[in-house]
Each structure stands twice: as structure tokens, then as C-alpha cells.
Structure 1
Amino acid sequence: MHIDSAAAETAPGTEFQGPPLSDRSWLRRIDVAIGYLVEIPAALLVVAEIVVLFTGVISRYVLHQPLVWSDELASFLFLWLAMLGAVVAFRRSEHMRMTAIVSMTGPRTRAFLETVALVAGLIFVALMLHPAYEFAAEEVFVQTPALEISNAWRAFALPIGLGLMLLIAVIRLLETADWRLTVGALILGLAIAGGLVALHPVLAGLGNLNLLLFFVLGVGALVLSGVPIAFAFGLSTFAYVTLTTQAPSMVVAGRMDEGMSHLILLAVPLFVFLGLLIEMTGMAKAMVGFLATLLGHVRGGLHYVLVGAMYLVSGISGSKAADMAAVAPVLFPEMKARGAKEGDLVALLAATGAQTETIPPSIVLITVGSVTGVSITALFTGGLLPGLVLAVALCGLVWWRYRGEDLSHVRRASAGEIGKTFMIAIPAIALPFVVRFAVVEGIATATEVSTIGIVYAALAGLLIYRQFDWRRLFPMLVTTAALSGAILLIIGAATGMAWALTQSGFSESLAVVMKSLPGGTIGFLLVSAVAFIVLGSVLEGIPAIVLFGPLLFPIARAVGVHEVHYAMVVVLAMGVGLFAPPFGVGYYAACAISRIHPDTGIRPIVGYILALLLGLLVVILAPWISIGFL
């Protein structure tokens, strides 16, 4: 899993990290050329989205002359950003994967599974290329209302992006050092595809048993073997639709377009970029520095600082990877110098990642609002206290573990030092409040508000902290596009799968089962929490939310659970699964960012996971925590 890609800034031409590559320089040159061809426009699209949305805010709120075309243009560019970002992520091998099992295999098996993952991606994009072209061609007859241009200019992002991924996949297979790996993976993929086609008459008569075959066994096998989640979802959905239904394959492309085109999801790349920006400008360091002088002399003080810093930083960036990358390098050296064990550090970092999943502007909350129709403003308001409850639970365990810490060698900061660091940190601490104020007061929408944060952070870095490395700007923009493309391709593929599940009648069957659970609303919430812990560990949060959010939120309303309360429960439960080993990929991201071996944190994290579960139970039993301020 490459969740830590938000923390890594790389220049164009970054090499693929997958199966062993041979030294074919002419292929490398083509690959590098594609890197520049894709990464430069992807970075420019991120800048264009920031400019368009911020201009819309200024025009509407300051000049009182709304631009009727700003949202339409932003949506128009957004699909191109998503697809080019997905191409960048594919080229860098940064699409989200579950690699826990792959990493436990031997070098030969691991290389073969890496090649299988690449072949699976190649098969998916090859299968989808023609349906995507058909879909885009149909959009020629649709005209945008404000810009009055053909919607095909937007829709052709799908086949062009898929075509570029196909070209990159072919180059990667030609580069593979051991041709037997490539041949073996291709034979395996074609044999499975041929077998399914041969069984078409049998599959057509199985009815809803096909759901088990394609969406449980099929997706499970692909995900556990290391195939990127987006391609696992896409392959299973394409096979299900074409082999077991009368729907044309173009429907899959249409559902992908629908899932990736919600304007509210534009907040994803913008908040990812904002997270990278606050780290680059030194704002995150200023906040952490203030907390460290305030609590550094207390037993376990820097651990409290880690919990608090993650809470504050999460209120700005929305990206867990960006949060961890901003906080860990600042705190960990001093914590190690005070005798903290590496395993406990990475365990607490991972636990705070789960704790802060509901802190606005959480990307997962934005996704919830996009797929369920729940108000983003209500979700942002409701997410503050649940995260605080889990923070208190973690701090309680920190107090217990470090109640005997020797601090005789630690100097307590003076009032003057605390005041000085506070003054330095004020602009950084103010940013979450600026972002929230802009949304609540109607200055900007949940999508647009990220641009206000970006402009604020850039000005603070240039004028106040005097820390703005222009050389890092382009790599940050490319990283933003890559991570966003990986996330949005998952959302697109998961939207297609959710459509297939709904059309099959599965949603009605699920509703009947969930409504009949014993224990009423509490029983429903407890079962949902357990389900999303499991889903979070295997599928990650965003695909789990996109798949099951539209199915379960209406059921929650039917059994009397407030939709915001339900969102907090499932998002926190998903976060626990995401950051809990052995399958939780967020845990391995925390290890990668902190450069600590995963084995060292396995035992210490058990206590933190139990603390998180205790906090989650409190949130379940006390709905006011989630909805008291709505």
C-alpha cells in the first residue's frame, strides 16, 4: 500500500517500484518521456483548479458578482486531473494495494505477484478502453449549460487516461528482467479470463450466487494477491456486468465517470496539497513546537503532544499521510532521546491516524457526503468531538504507560519560552479556525474552502515563517495529482461495483437483514462498527464507504440512527481497521513515514487499539457527541 505517497515528493521520471527491471535504456527513455508528458499537465491542472475555485470565491463573496461558469469549468478539468493523476500513480506504482500477504512471501513469489498485479492492471485498462471510448463518443451530443461546449471534451479523459496506462503497462512488462514472470502472469490472467468466458452460460443461470463469486471470492483473491484495489474492483465489476447481466460494458465506464466527477470530491486533491503545503512552510513545525514547550516537562508529555498535534494538523490537511509526515519527523528524535521505544512511537502514531479520521476536513468525510448526500458542513461539525473522545482514551493509556517516566534530565520551559512559541504558532493554529469559519459563514463551500486554506498557508509561509521552497512546489503538485488520482480511481471503480450490487437486489436483502438485527439501534451500530473495522483493514476506508455507504445509510435512518452519528461510527471503525496490523495498511504507512520496522510496533499497538475501541464504544452509546452541536 502506498498511502505514504503524500509524504514523498518526487520529480518527473521517478522509477517504477515493482518486479525486477532489465536494463533496456530505450524503454526507459520512452518511460521518462511519458512521465514528463503526463506529470506536467497534471501539476498544471492542480494549479488551475485552485485558481478557478478561488476566483469563484472572490467574485461571489467580495465582488458580489458570481461566476456562473466557475463550478462547471472546475468540474470539466476535474476528470482530466483524476485520470492523469491515476496515470502518474500507475507509472509510479502508487495505486493503493493490500501488500501484507505479498510481503510475507519469498523473493521469487513476490516478484511473480508483482508481475500479476501489473498484468491485472493491463487487462483492466485494455478491457475498459473501448467502452470508455464509446461512452465519451456518446457525450458528443451533450452540451454544457454555461460554457456551451461538448461534454465529450471532458469525457475523453477516460479513454485517454486508460490508453496511457495501457502503454505504461506494456512498457513495464517489456522491461521485466525475467521474461518467464511475464509469460506466467499473462498465461494466468488469460486462462482465468478464458475460463470465465467459457462458463458464461453457467454463470447466467446462477443468479445472485454470482455476487459471492465475483465480489467476495474474486475481489478477495485479487486484493490479497496485491492487485491494486481500483483494478480489483474494476475487473470484478466488468466481469460481473458482461458475463451475468444484459447491461452493456459501457455502463461500467459511465458509472466510473459518475463516481469520479462529483465536484465535492475536488476537495480531495486540494486538501492533500494543503497538507503538503503546511509541512513545507513550517506551519506544522510551529504548532508542534508550541505544544512541546507547553507539555514537554510532563511525564509522557511528548506523547500527549503527538496526539494533540495530529488533532490540530488533521484539522488543516485532511490527509492522514500528510499529517503523519508533518508531525513524526519533528517529534520522534526528541522522544527517542528521552528513552521512548521505537515500537511504542510508531504504534501511537498509527493510533492517532485512526483517532483523527473524523477531524475536518477529513477526506473520508468528504467521500461520505459525496456518496450519501449527507451535508458536508454537518459532517465537519459533528467530527470534532468524536475525535476528541478517542484522543482522551489514547491519552489515558499514555498516562498509565509513562506514569513512572524519569524526567530529571528534562528542563521545564519558562513562561517566556512558552509565550514565544505560542506567538510563532498563532498563524498556524488559526488556520483550522479560518477554514471552518469560511464554511460555516457561507464564504466558501466545502470544496472551495481548501483554496482559502492554500492561499492562507502560502502567504504565511512567504511573509511570516519565511519558509517557502519553490523547488519543492512542482514535485508537491505532482504528488498531489498522483495520490488524488489513486483515490479517485478507487471511487470510480467502487461506484461501478456499488451500482452492480444495487441492480442485483443485494441492497434490499441487506436492508432486511440489518433491520432484523437484535438490540435495535445499538445492535445495528455495533454490527456496523465490527463490519467497518474488517472492511477498513482489507479494503481501506474510501472504497468501503463508497461501496456500502449508499446501502447502509438509508437503513440507519430507517432504524432511527442520525446519519451524522452513523457517519462518525463507521468512519472511526474503519479507521481502527485501517491502522490496525496485520492487514491495516495505514499501520505500514506509519512505519514507512517514521522509518521503523513494522514488527517492533505490533505488541505496543494492541493497547492503543483497545483504547480506540473503548472510545468508539463511548461514541456509539452517546449520540450527542456526534450531533450535539448540529
Structure 2
Amino acid sequence: MTFTLALLPIVLLFLGMPIFALFIFGAALSFAFFLSVPPVAMHQIMFGGLENYALLAVPFFIFAGELMGGSGIAQRLIVWVLALLGRVPGGLGVATIGACTLIGAISGVSTATVAVIGKALYPGLVKEGYGQRFSAGLVSSSGSIDIVIPPSIAMILYGASAEQSIPKLFAAGILPGILIAALMAGYVVVTAMRVGVATGRGFDLGYFLRTTRDAAPALLMPVFVLSSIYLGLASPTEAGGFACLYAILVGRYVYRLMSWEEVLDCAVRSAMLTTQILVIVASAALFSWILTVNGIPQALTAWLQSLELHPWSFLMAVNIILLIVGCFLDPTSAILVLTPLFIPLVKAFGIDPIHFGIVMTVNVAIGMFTPPFGLNLFVAQTVLGVPLETLYRGVLPFAVVQIFALLIITYWPELSLFLANAV
């Protein structure tokens, strides 16, 4: 069974087979040759993997992210951040990070953010003297903040898989997300001063107030969404539905930039992306079930406990594993397959599952832009027209910055748990 569950999926991955297909293929061979279970159980397990109320939030937040681009919300958030920064050194680069963070507070779809921010800010970054490589790397890596800043689809999937509170996970992700954004902004400022990038326009209070008035409906969106969750007024699923309705009303009747045909187009694109995610959820549930019934999580737990590792060394090993896995698997697959393996170990080492969820989320976020298969890299290549080689070189410094942030988040659990414990 080692061949069907380990070696075969790896071979198929490098041959370019879709993630969900290699999970199903390995599971089907296991059912055919190694398990005394009727094949009909495959369908039952796959559909059972989708029977989780928390997963209903996924299509809503994807739809909200799609609506942001056409409704004018994303564009006004970008303009407002630019007006706020004034003459900060590297202002446009910092604005790129700030805009990604704000957009992430509405929708946790990293690839969509890279596309929106790339189209809006990449030409200006190159024109101001950041260079093609640095600018492309900044856009590709900044989009990963969306996965950490709540609401986060990765956290929803982890919460559903690990049976943890999603509102607590959302609260736990706020300070780590801000830390990552702050460290990246600091690196951008230092780089801008070193290479002599011109500062932006001076802070103009009148212009800032005008942009604030224009962006007020957009700025209120994350406030309403997140406050409704943290105050207990709505579940994440209900808050996601509200975000969709709010974006439609603002785009259609406030900014008047979205027709009903465009709303339908956003719904179609969201349905396609949701299907891609949920088919991975179903196939990963099947794969994880086979691992569980064969006692692999229990055997792994017993083996690691026999090594008498300390919690800090276990977390370091997990970080290394997840960073490597993130180079090849998308966040959905990595979380759904590895969470059932890690959770028994996390509890055995006395690590808080909420804190571990944030550590895992940050790891897969870094994987979104690390070579060779980071999804943000392929989106950036398409949107920006930049060769992959340039993107690979451009994201490396930002990967170092985010790994440094990951170490802080890993070994300072209070950073994650401070707000989570208050929910």
C-alpha cells in the first residue's frame, strides 16, 4: 500500500496530473487491491467529506472576492491606501502590501488579489524605479497575506478538518497577518531608500478626506463582515453571504459600475473556482480516510513520541515539511491531507490547535509564491507578462522575510492566541 498512497501520487504529481485525480487514483487502487471494503464506500466517503456546514462559507467568500473587482470596491481601497501613505519612502510598494491586506479582510482568495493588484499597481511600481523583478516579486508575495488575514478560506478548511472554532481561527490570524504585512513593508521601505526610489506625493488632507468619503462603502465592508462574526451576530457562512449582497448593492447602486450581467459572470467564475476547491476537499477526504483506517496517524504519533522530541523541535520539523510541501501542493490539498496526520501529534505535544492552525496557514501562504508550483506565480506570469525565471528570483527576498515572520509566529504563540482567547 506504500506504493499506492505515497510513491504513486508523487509520480503522478510530477507527471502533471491534477491534484484531485492523483488522490482518487491512489485511493481507487487501494480499494481494489488492499482493502476489504466495497468500492461503493468511495462515493459515500467523498460526499461525506463535503457534509460540513463550515464549508458553505467557501463559495460565499470566493464570490465576494470576484465581486470586489467589478464593483469598484477593490479599486477604491487601493486609491485610499495610496492617499493615506503620503510621502512614506517606498510608498507605492507599501501601498501594494496595504491594499492586499485590506482586500484580504474581505476575501481570502490570494490568486484573485494578485490579479487585481497586479493590473492596478505593477505598471506604476516599474515606472517608479522598483524594477521588473522586484515589482513582480512584491505583487506575487503580497497576495499571500490574504490567506492569513481573516476571513481566510484556508482557515475554514483547517477548522473543518481539525474540528476547531473558525471564529477563533479568524481572530488568531489578525495579529500574525499584520506582522507579516509590517515586516514586508519594512523591507520595501529599506529597499526603496537603498535604490533611491522617489517618494510619493505629499500627504494632502483634503485629498485624503475626499478619497475616504469615496471609499467609505468599501472600507465599511470588512468592518461589517468581521464584526458580525466576532460579536456573534452571524456565523462565517452568514457573514460571507452578507459580504456578497453588500458588494452587489454597492457595485450596482452606489458606485454604479456593475451590471446584472457582470454579477452573473462573477457568479459563474466563482462557481467554477468553488468546484475546483470542493472536488479537492472530497478526494482529500477519501485519501485521509484510507490513511486513518490503516493507522498511519497513530503510528506516526507513536514513532515521534518514541524520539522524545520537544514541542519546539516538532514545530520546526513541521515548518520544514510544510514549506517543502507548499512548493508542490496548493493550500487546499496540503491542509486537507496533512491536518488529520498532524492533529494527533499536536495534541500529544500539548500544542494549542488554534495556534497550530495559524502556523499551518502561514506555511501554506508562503507556498503560494514559492517555486516551482506556487499558484500566485502562474497568475502573475499571466497578468503581468513576466517570465517565470524573473518571478522566481523576485520572490526569494520576500520568502525570506515571510519565513522570518513564520518563526516569530511559531515560537510566540501568544501573538496568535491573544485575540483568539477573547472570542
TM range (shorter): over 0.9
Q: Which residue of 1 aligns with 2:310?
A: 520
For 1:311, the aligned partner's letter is T
- The change in CA–CA distance for 1:413 and 1:572 in structure 2 (over 3 A counts) is same
Show CA shifts across 1:73-118 (max 9, x none).
xxxxxxxxxxxxxxxxxxxxxxxxxxxxxxxxxxxxxxxxxxxxxx
Q: Which residue of 2 aligns with 1:294?
A: 84
Q: Distance in 2 between matches of 1:408 and 1:227?
A: 46
For 1:622, the aligned partner's letter is W
Q: Distance in 2 between matches of 1:283 and 1:366?
A: 24
Tell me, yes or no, if structure 1 residue 263 matches structure 2 residue 58.
no
Q: Which residue of 1 aligns with 2:217?
A: 427
Shift of 1:323: 1.7
Q: Distance in 1 between matches of 2:389 and 2:197?
A: 28
For residues 185-200 of structure 1, the aligned pairs below 5 Å read none
Q: Which residue of 2 aligns with 1:273?
A: 63
Q: Which residue of 1 aligns with 2:395?
A: 605
Q: Distance in 2 between matches of 1:497 and 1:317?
A: 28
Q: Distance in 2 between matches of 1:474 and 1:560?
A: 48
Q: Distance in 2 between matches of 1:372 and 1:408?
A: 48
Q: 1:531 aligns with which of 321, 324, 329?
A: 321
Q: Distance in 2 between matches of 1:509 and 1:254?
A: 26
Shift of 1:518: 5.5
For residues 454-493 of structure 1, the aligned pairs below 5 Å read 454-493=244-283
Q: Distance in 2 between matches of 1:586 and 1:254?
A: 34
Q: Which residue of 2 aligns with 1:377?
A: 167
Equivalent residue of 1:260, what SS? coil
Q: Distance in 1 between matches of 2:250 and 2:392?
A: 39
Q: Distance in 1 between matches of 2:366 and 2:313?
A: 19
Q: Distance in 2 between matches of 1:410 and 1:307?
A: 15
Q: 2:296 aligns with which of 506, 531, 543?
A: 506
Residues 87, 202 of structure 2: 8 Å contact kept: yes
Shift of 1:268: 1.2
Unpaired segments of 5 or more residues in structure 2? Answer: none
Q: Distance in 2 between matches of 1:440 and 1:295?
A: 29
Shift of 1:260: 2.2
Shift of 1:330: 1.5
Q: Which residue of 1 aligns with 2:95?
A: 305
Tell me which moved more, 484-493 or 320-329.
320-329
Q: Which residue of 1 aligns with 2:418?
A: 628
Shift of 1:521: 1.3
For 1:610, the aligned partner's letter is V
Q: Which residue of 2 aligns with 1:443?
A: 233
For 1:263, the aligned partner's letter is Y
Shift of 1:410: 5.0
Equivalent residue of 1:361, what SS? coil
Q: 2:73 aligns with which of 266, 280, 283?
A: 283
Residues 497, 547 of structure 1: 8 Å contact kept: yes
Tell me, yes or no, if structure 1 residue 399 matches structure 2 residue 197.
no
Q: Distance in 2 between matches of 1:421 and 1:598?
A: 36
Q: Distance in 2 between matches of 1:240 and 1:522?
A: 35
Tell me, yes or no, if structure 1 residue 358 matches structure 2 residue 148.
yes
Show CA shifts across 1:96-144 (max 9, x none).
xxxxxxxxxxxxxxxxxxxxxxxxxxxxxxxxxxxxxxxxxxxxxxxxx
Shift of 1:359: 1.1
Show CA shifts across 1:578-597 (max 9, x none).
31012323322232233322
Q: 2:3 aligns with which of 213, 226, 230?
A: 213
Tell me, yes or no, if structure 1 residue 243 matches structure 2 residue 33.
yes
Residues 530, 573 of structure 1: 8 Å contact kept: no
Residues 343, 601 of structure 1: 8 Å contact kept: yes
Equivalent residue of 1:579, what SS? coil
Q: 1:331 aligns with which of 121, 137, 146?
A: 121
Q: Distance in 2 between matches of 1:250 and 1:561?
A: 38
Q: Distance in 2 between matches of 1:418 and 1:410?
A: 14
Show CA shifts across 1:205-253 (max 9, x none).
xxxxx1x201221101111111111011101111112211111111111
Q: Which residue of 2 aligns with 1:589?
A: 379
Show CA shifts across 1:285-307 (max 9, x none).
11110111222532211111111
- The change in CA–CA distance for 1:431 and 1:227 in structure 2 (over 3 A counts) is same
Q: 2:409 aligns with which of 609, 619, 622?
A: 619
Residues 393, 615 of structure 1: 8 Å contact kept: yes
Tell me which moved more, 371-380 or 258-267.
258-267
Shift of 1:319: 1.0
- The change in CA–CA distance for 1:347 and 1:564 in structure 2 (over 3 A counts) is same
Higher relative contact order, chain-length normalized (CA < 8 Å, sep 6+): 2
Equivalent residue of 2:129, what SS? coil
Residues 385, 626 of structure 1: 8 Å contact kept: yes
Q: Distance in 2 between matches of 1:520 and 1:351?
A: 32
Q: Distance in 2 between matches of 1:309 and 1:519?
A: 41
Q: Which residue of 2 aligns with 1:367?
A: 157
Aligned length: 420
Shift of 1:409: 8.4
- The change in CA–CA distance for 1:289 and 1:239 in structure 2 (over 3 A counts) is same
Shift of 1:451: 1.0
Percent sequence identity is: 28
Residues 517, 523 of structure 1: 8 Å contact kept: no
What RMSD over aligned residues (CA atoms) do the two structures have, in Å?
1.7
Shift of 1:261: 2.7
TM-score (norm 2): 0.95
Tell me, yes or no, if structure 1 residue 580 matches structure 2 residue 370.
yes
Residues 105, 151 of structure 2: 8 Å contact kept: yes
Q: Distance in 2 between matches of 1:535 and 1:558?
A: 23
Q: Distance in 1 between matches of 2:4 and 2:95?
A: 46
Equivalent residue of 1:447, what SS? helix
For residues 103-252 of structure 1, the aligned pairs below 5 Å read 210=1, 212-252=2-42
Q: Distance in 1 between matches of 2:308 and 2:86?
A: 48
Residues 533, 575 of structure 1: 8 Å contact kept: no
Q: Which residue of 1 aligns with 2:358?
A: 568
Q: Distance in 2 between matches of 1:518 and 1:617?
A: 22
Show CA shifts across 1:345-374 (max 9, x none).
221122223333221111110001111110
- The change in CA–CA distance for 1:409 and 1:251 in structure 2 (over 3 A counts) is closer
Residues 89, 199 of structure 2: 8 Å contact kept: no
Q: Distance in 1 between matches of 2:236 and 2:184?
A: 29
Specify the structure having the higher radius of gyration (Cα): 1
Equivalent residue of 1:290, what SS? helix
For 2:107, the aligned partner's letter is S
For residues 407-426 of structure 1, the aligned pairs below 5 Å read 411-426=201-216
For 2:366, the aligned partner's letter is V
Residues 4, 27 of structure 2: 8 Å contact kept: yes
Equivalent residue of 2:113, what SS? helix
Equivalent residue of 2:202, what SS? coil
Q: Distance in 2 between matches of 1:455 and 1:311?
A: 21
Q: Which residue of 2 aligns with 1:198?
A: none
For 2:320, the aligned partner's letter is V
Q: Distance in 2 between matches of 1:408 and 1:368?
A: 42
Equivalent residue of 1:538, what SS? coil
Shift of 1:408: 5.7
